[in-house]
Amino acid sequence: MEIKIKNVSKYYYSGGKTIKALDNVSLSIPANQIFTLLGPSGCGKTTLLRCIVGLEAPDTGEIEIGGEMVLSTEKDIFVPTENRGLGMVFQTYAIWPHMNVFNNVAYPLQTRKVPRDIIRRKVEKTLRFVQLEGFEDRPATKLSGGQQQRVALARALVAEPKVILFDEPLSNLDAKLREETRKDLRVFLTELQITAIYVTHDRIEALSLSDIVAVMNKGQIIETGRPRDIYLKADHRFVADFIGRTNLIEATVTSQEGSVTTVDCAIGSVACRKKANMKTGDQATLCLRPEFIRLKRGDASEAQNVFNGKIDSLVFIGEAFEGEITIQESQLFIKTEPDSDIEVGDSANFTVDPDHCLLVTR
């Protein structure tokens, strides 16, 4: 079910000052996709989610869910939360401690006076879907964190909502469980074929879960796109930096030839993926992801973008070495293979493929 958001603003007032939590946000969320709102704390992503679900009333704007207007400040329309046909999973799961798993999941149906036999059938079906079949009589708060998260998901799904919304639901899990649950959630949501809106500040969650990512900052949508495009082809400096570790170097365009834009910067002349509408003399920021800075053994004379530097630091993190290298007078963050024999103090040649040299101008 498609969701359309038009010119939504939300203001808070504190100490005589106006704070723009949402600043004229317009957004179209396609049906049957996992759409993630990603951004730092305080950027407005949870406020936007709460406006969609009806827990916040925007000061301006319109929200449409499946073609139905649920909010319009101009037309004085406000459809209450319970009438919007939405399911929501909160950060804290909001599990009822005095209820078992069955009653936690059944609660939305019980409040609507659904017949008992239908409730039982729907709860059993939903628990089977989230792989909690046989847990009906367990005390909900005695389950593991990942299982409690699935109970919360089942409760959101049991009423067969048009849209399901998630407000940082994995933030309370440890790293390994978060990774496992993230995979399960992706499978569940893909099978359901419903619209899901997911809020997080965790870039790995956003990249691994989403069909589409919208990066937010200071109450605005900065950039929207598929995870791979957002990571590899960001248009904005903020997005390139927020979505993953990167080296940012101020640069000046020296030429545009064929599929390559060449810039001059603190580490030397760098051939980059072509940036349309740039001309000689333009200023830009060069973004180099550490995983694309490759150690070059032997003769590197035929490679493009060859740099010689000195290894300043290395830390072994299991799947890779992370460290820093000084090239000219600039220090860059690097990542290299876990079986590399490179050591601190070594002089080494590194290359970066032009396709992985990203230029941003905003």
d(CA 124, CA 132): 9
Q: Which two tokens stand for residue 119?
A: 């409730």
> Which pLDDT score is estimated for 298?
60
In the sheet that holds 212-217, the strands lie side by side as: 86-89, 163-167, 195-200, 34-38, 212-217, 220-225
d(CA 158, CA 224): 31
What predicted TM-score, i.e. pTM, was given to this entire model? 0.87
pLDDT at position 68 over 70: yes
Task: Say if CB 268 and CB 328 are below 8 A apart.
Answer: yes
d(CA 292, CA 289): 6
> Which pLDDT score is estimated for 299?
59
Look at phi and psi of residue 94 and say left if phi exceeds 0, alpha if psi is from -120 to 50, else beta. Answer: left
Average pLDDT, rounded, for the chain: 91
What integer is the mean pLDDT of 20-24? 95
> Which pLDDT score is estimated for 268?
93
Q: What is the CA angle 330-39-277, rounded to 5?
A: 60
Q: Which two tokens stand for residue 295?
A: 């150690």
How sure is the predictor about 301, in pLDDT bands with cuts at 50, 70 and 90?
Answer: low
Q: Which two tokens stand for residue 240?
A: 């390139």
- For the chain, what percent of residues have pLDDT higher than 90? 65
SS3 of residue 229 by DSSP: helix
Residue-wise pLDDT tens digits, 70-104: 999 999 999 999 899 898 888 776 788 889 999 99
